[in-house]
Amino acid sequence: MVRGIRCPEDRWAWVEIDLDALRENTAAIKRLVARNVQMMCVVKADAYGHGAVQCAKAMRRAGADQFAVATVTEGVELRESGIREPIAILSEPPLETIQTIVDHDLAPAVYTQDFALSLGECAAAAGKVAPYHLAVDTGMTRIGVNWRDALELRRSIDFHRGIECAGTFTHFATADVLGDWDFEMQYRRFCEAVRSIDDSGLDTGLVHCGNTPATILHPEVHEDMVRAGIGLYGLHPAVETRRKVRLRPVMSVRGRITRVERPEVGTGVSYGLTYRVPKPNIQICTVPIGYADGLARSLSGNMDVLVNGERCRQVGRICMDQFMFAVAVNSVRAYRPTRAVERGDVVTILGYDGNEMISADDMAARRNTINYEVVCDFGLRLEKIYV
Ligand SMILES: *Cc1c(COP(=O)(O)O)cnc(C)c1O
């Protein structure tokens, strides 16, 4: 058993969530914004795989003013766990979910008249006023009303007493790039849309546009509220943000060795037998984590794991529920002999073990993706333990 690593006795593989790190990151990002700027913590996709309910509760104590999710179901989960802060839904949900939205006091993004008026009808029937956030498309071409039509949409829905604009927002496509012309253009268009609504005497609610990279790199766009996601989980959205704020990764992924073999030279390992034991005294160890747990199959033969503070090569194809790795045991007295491993030893797939560490960025680079996807994937099936 590795010192400093907490090992649940009743499971072979788990995701470890460091709530202290999460609180520190939340506070660190909150310190970047002025005191009158609110912080909306983005906990969509089960808090990027970290567990939305536990994370939201920890963030709440570290400075979160509001939360944001991607779907109605995610919002309902937070409400039912006792989260009372405002909860925004970051895109316009199906009309069929409006009753649920009203029942749970969720604040959806709005960008069609149809949705806005249906929401108003439903809220009015329940004797409520439903809050919403007007989504403005300023150039990302994903969600929202075109910035030129934002005021017109507001004018076509504002007569309704059942709805109330809690916020006006946009989302940047290139906030992680410094000095980017498209970013500046998006921000100009957003300001234009906000000003036109303001000038017409309508209430914009809280104006917000800053995701993590914009919050860290572009203080001039903080407005009334920032919407931080990835940074809360201790991951950087760009190399430039590393110099501006210290963040600590929240997620580690660990498993135990369930089987150890010392096969003959030439013995194949895993589907397709793509790896064959090349020399004597190689231990082939099995870990019960596979691509259904978020360990991408494309990493097969192209990743390391940590055992007893040392790196070992993963070998053979990663399976749905398990993978194998090799430990070269020096039977002859060597300068720095590698210790043989045993069934039950803890293996680190993501995170620290002693002085070694495997980061979500390392893994993302090997997978040709971004750290966001790496942590989301590990949220798929593994049980989480909160430390
Ligand atoms: C996901 C998301 C965010 C958070 O982005 P990060 O880069 O993780 O900070 C903010 N706003 C919207 C609309 C989003 O979809």
Q: Is pLDDT of 271 > 70?
A: yes
Looking at residue 338, its pLDDT comes to 66
Among 192, 207, 235, residue at a domain's last position: 235
Classify residue 258 by burial, with Cβ atoms within 10 Å: 0-12, 13-18, 19+: middle
Percent of the chain with pLDDT over 70: 96
The reply to whether 145 and 222 lie within a common domain is: yes
The residues carrying an active-site annotation are 44, 271
Examine the pLDDT at 337 and tell me if it is beyond 80. no
Which domain covers residue 354, as residue numbers? 251-386
Whose Cα sits closest to atom 14 in ligand 1? Answer: 90
d(CA 46, CA 61): 19
Same domain membership, residue 255 and residue 212: no
CA-closest residue to ligand 1 atom 1: 229
Question: What average pLDDT does the structure give for the chain?
Answer: 96
Q: Nearest Cα to 263, choosing from 249, 280, 275?
A: 280
**β-pairing verdict for 282-287 and 259-261:** antiparallel
Q: Domain containing 42 — which CATH number?
A: 3.20.20.10
DSSP string, 207-263: EEEE-HHHHHH-GGG-TTEEEE-GGGGT--SSTGGGGT------EEEEEE--EEE-P
Asked whether the predicted pLDDT for residue 314 surpasses 50, the reply is yes
- What lines the ligand 1 site, CB under 6 Å? 42, 44, 90, 171, 211-212, 227-230, 237
Residue 132, domain member (yes or no): yes
- CA of 210 from ligand 1 middle (Å) equals 8
Distance between CA atoms of residues 339 and 281, nearest Å = 12
Same domain, 256 and 297: yes
Same domain, 361 and 300: yes
- Confidence band (pLDDT; 50, 70, 90) for 114? very high
Residue 345 lies in a domain: yes
pLDDT band for position 11 (cuts 50, 70, 90): confident
User: Residue 263 — very low, low, confident or very high, per pLDDT cuts 50/70/90?
Assistant: very high
Domain boundary among 235, 263, 297: 235
Joined tokens for residue 313 = 């090569």
pTM of the model: 0.96
Name 130's bridge partners.
163
- The average pLDDT across 119-127 equals 98
Predicted pLDDT at 336: 47
Report the pLDDT averaged over residues 6-15: 85
Shared-domain flag, residues 174 and 283: no
Distance, CA of 25 to chain centre: 13
Domain annotation covers residue 7:
no
Closest atom of ligand 1 relative to the 211 alpha carbon: 9
User: Burial of 383 by CB count in 10 Å (0-12 exposed, 13-18 middle, 19+ buried)?
Assistant: exposed
11 in a structural domain: no
- Last residue of a domain, which of 180, 211, 235? 235
CA–CA distance, 211 with 171 (Å, rounded to integer): 7
- What would the pLDDT profile of 39-92 be if each residue is shown by its tens digit? 999 999 999 999 999 999 999 999 999 999 999 999 999 999 999 999 999 999
CA distance 267 to 281: 12
Joined together, the tokens standing for residue 366 give: 């090997």
Check whether residue 139 and residue 201 sit in a common domain. Answer: yes
Q: Pseudo-torsion of CA 317, 15, 356, 240, nearest 10°?
A: 100
**Residue of minimum CA distance from atom 4 in ligand 1:** 229
**Pair (335, 217) in one structural domain:** no
Q: How far, in Å, from the CA of 227 to the mean position of ligand 1?
A: 6
Q: Report residue 332's pLDDT band, with 50, 70 and 90 as the boundaries.
A: low
pLDDT in tens, 187-235: 999 999 999 999 999 999 999 999 999 999 999 999 999 999 999 999 9
Residue 131 has pLDDT above 60, yes or no: yes
Whole-number pLDDT of residue 1: 43
Least confident of 40-44, 333-337, 339-343: 333-337
Structurally, the chain folds into a number of domains equal to 2
Domain shared by 31 and 143, yes or no: yes
- Asked if residues 26 and 59 have their Cβ atoms less than 8 Å apart, the reply is yes
The dihedral of CA 176, 232, 144, 157: what is its sign? negative
Residue type, 75: G
Q: Examine residue 309 and state whether it is found in any structural domain, yes or no.
A: yes
- Report pLDDT for 339: 78
Q: Which one-letter DSSP state was computed for residue 337?
A: P
- Looking at the structure, do residues 217 and 320 belong to the same domain, yes or no? no
Are residues 229 and 283 both part of a single domain?
Answer: no
Confidence of residue 331 (pLDDT cuts 50, 70, 90): low
Name the token pair of 48. 């990027």
Cα of 230 from ligand 1 centre, angstroms = 8
